Amino acid sequence: MSEDLRLLAIEAARRGAAVCLQRFGAAVAVATKGADGDVVTAVDRAAEQTVREVLLAARPDDGVLGEELPEHVGAGSVQWVVDPLDGTTNYTRRLPFFGTSVAARSVADGSWLAGAVCAPVLGTTWSAAKGLGAHVDSGAGETRLPLVLAESSVRLLGTGLSYDPGHRRRQLRELAAVMAGYTDMRRFGAAALDLCLVAQGSLDAFVEDDLAVHDWAAGALIAEEAGAVVSRAEGAGVSARRR
């Protein structure tokens, strides 16, 4: 079952990402939905609608919890968690680090079953199924994760900052301690992609303590299935560290 869910997650993520790519670089109206910097566009909503249609066409009894549209409560055994445009700020500033994230979890016990993240400008899709490992596809077929990368003394930490000014000040005060053991950091602005980069081995860790479940749902499973140690706190954040 998990492999079937992974394939459906890939299809839905790619379809949603295609909607985002169609408007990338075009003028789009941007609205603030919470704190300054927390923005949304009509593209976010259109991509989520497309993802939802793909999922429910294949599995009409499932539930769907998305970032932008009202929750669809299903009677089936699976709930899908969707971030239609992770990295909306990047998207509006024509930065290529954004994507569509789709994950499936068990209604019975909350376990994560499958997930996919598609970054359309990068031409890359990462995916995983519970107990079956993680993969990346950059257009030449799937490669199992983690990748074999050059050995070096580099230790890279990925992180992000809260939209809330007070929370952000605390994160900055604590950054030196968080950086202990790492030689540098990267801030790509899309948690789903950051977690997939941990899965690849491109980042050694990713830590962010102010995220919603849709931000990390698929990426955390992909990192975990690629061998990272993952800690999830729904409504708070996530950490993923390579062993």
User: Burial, 11: exposed, middle or buried (Cβ in 10 Å; 0-12, 13-18, 19+)?
Assistant: middle
Which architecture characterizes domain 156-242 according to CATH? Answer: 3-Layer(aba) Sandwich (3.40)
On the question of a common fold for 1-144 and 156-242, the answer reads no
For the record, the structure tokens of 38 come out as 């927390």
Task: Tell me the pTM.
Answer: 0.95
List per-block mean pLDDT (blocks of 10 residues) for the chain, which spans 243 residues.
95 98 88 79 95 98 95 95 96 96 97 98 98 96 96 95 88 92 95 98 95 95 98 83 92
Annotated binding-site positions: 67, 83, 85-86, 215
Q: What is the pLDDT of residue 234?
A: 67
Q: What is the pLDDT of residue 39?
A: 80
Annotated binding-site positions for Mg(2+): 67, 83, 85-86, 215
- CATH number for the domain formed by residue range(s) 1-144: 3.30.540.10
User: What letters, b where the CB count within 10 A reaches 16 and e where it falls short, cover 185-196?
Assistant: beebbbbbbbbb
Q: What is the pLDDT of residue 13?
A: 98
* Residue carrying the six token digits 């801030």: 187
Other Cβ atoms less than 10 A from the Cβ of 136: the count is: 21
Domain spans, the chain: 1-144, 156-242
For the chain, what is the total number of helices (H) and then of strands (E)?
6, 14
